[in-house]
Chains A and B, each alone.
Chain A
Amino acid sequence: QKEVEQNSGPLSVPEGAIASLNCTYSDRGSQSFFWYRQYSGKSPELIMSIYSNGDKEDGRFTAQLNKASQYVSLLIRDSQPSDSATYLCAVSEGSQGNLIFGKGTKLSVKP
C-alpha cells in the first residue's frame, strides 16, 4: 500500500513566524509532488508543485524535495492568520500516475 504521511497537527505558529510542514512518501517511483491548501468547507487549491530535488520558491512559500530520503516539505515565511488551513501533500503514484494524498496538516496562525 503506497502511502503519504503527514503530521496531522494542529501546528500552531505566531503571526510572522515560519511554518514548516513535512511529508514523507513510500513510493520510490514517484516523480511529481504537490502542496495544496484547503480551507474549512472549501476544496483544495494548489500552492506549489515540485519535480526535482532541491528548493523551489514562490513568494512566501518554499517547497523542498529530497527523493533519496523520500521527503518533501513546505515552508511558509511570515505566516499570516489567513494561512490558517489544512495543507495537503500529494504525490504521484509511480506506476499509474494518479495522485496519492496525505491526510493533511492543520495549521493555525495566531495573531
Chain B
Amino acid sequence: KAGVTQTPRYLIKTRGQQVTLSCSPISGHRSVSWYQQTPGQGLQFLFEYFSETQRNKGNFPGRFSGRQFSNSRSEMNVSTLELGDSALYLCASSLEPGGTDTQYFGPGTRLTVL
C-alpha cells in the first residue's frame, strides 16, 4: 500500500506571499493531521481533518488554514508568510480521528521563507 505523500517536497517563498501544501493520505485513511516541526519548538499540531470537516485546531494564527476533499486528500494554506513560518510541515494520516489510532507520516514539505 502506498504511504502518505506530500507535495511539494521543498518550497522557497518570500515574506508576504502565500503557500499551499498538499497531502494524500494512505488509501482508506479518512483522517489527516498537519504538524509544524521546527528545531526550537519540535512537532506542533496545526489541525486535523476528518470526513472533510476540521475536527480540531492547534494554537496557530488564522493565517494557517486547511481543507479536506471528498477523496480525503488535504491541503493547508499559509497566507502572508513570515520568516518564522520556515519549518518542516508534516501531514499524517490515520483510519480514525483523534489520537487513539496510529498516525503515519508523510515525508514532509520543507518551507523556507526569505
Q: Taking the complex as formed, is A62 at the interface, i.e. its CB lies under 8 A from any CB of chain B?
A: no
CB < 8 Å neighbour of A97 from B35, B41, B58, B99: B99
Contact B56 A97 (CB under 8 A): yes
Residues of chain A lying within 8 A (CB to CB) of residue B105:
36, 43-45
State in angstroms the CA–CA spacing of A92 and B58 once bound together. 13
Contact B102 A98 (CB under 8 A): no
Q: A interface, how many residues as a size bin?
A: 20 to 34
Contact A32 B100 (CB under 8 A): yes
CB < 8 Å neighbour of B43 from A31, A49, A51, A88: A88
A49 with B102, Cβ < 8 A, contacts A97-B56, A99-B45, A101-B43 known: yes
Residues of chain B lying within 8 A (CB to CB) of residue A43:
90, 105-108
Contact B45 A97 (CB under 8 A): no
Q: Taking the complex as formed, is B74 at the interface, i.e. its CB lies under 8 A from any CB of chain A?
A: no
* Contact string against B for A residues 93-110, beta-carbon threshold 8 Å, 1 for contact and 0 otherwise: 100111111111000000
Residues of chain B lying within 8 A (CB to CB) of residue A91:
99
Q: Taking the complex as formed, is B25 at the interface, i.e. its CB lies under 8 A from any CB of chain A?
A: no
Given A44-B43, A98-B48, 10 other A-B residues pairs in contact with their CB atoms under 8 A: A43-B105, A43-B107, A44-B105, A90-B99, A92-B98, A96-B98, A98-B98, A99-B33, A101-B43, A102-B42
Which residues of A are interface residues toward B (Cβ below 8 A)? 31-32, 34, 36, 42-46, 49, 51, 88, 90-93, 96-104
- Ordered by A's residue number, 19 sampled pairs between the chains whose C-beta atoms are within 8 Å are A32-B100, A34-B102, A42-B107, A43-B108, A46-B102, A46-B104, A49-B102, A91-B99, A92-B99, A96-B55, A97-B56, A97-B100, A98-B48, A98-B58, A98-B98, A99-B33, A99-B45, A101-B43, A102-B42
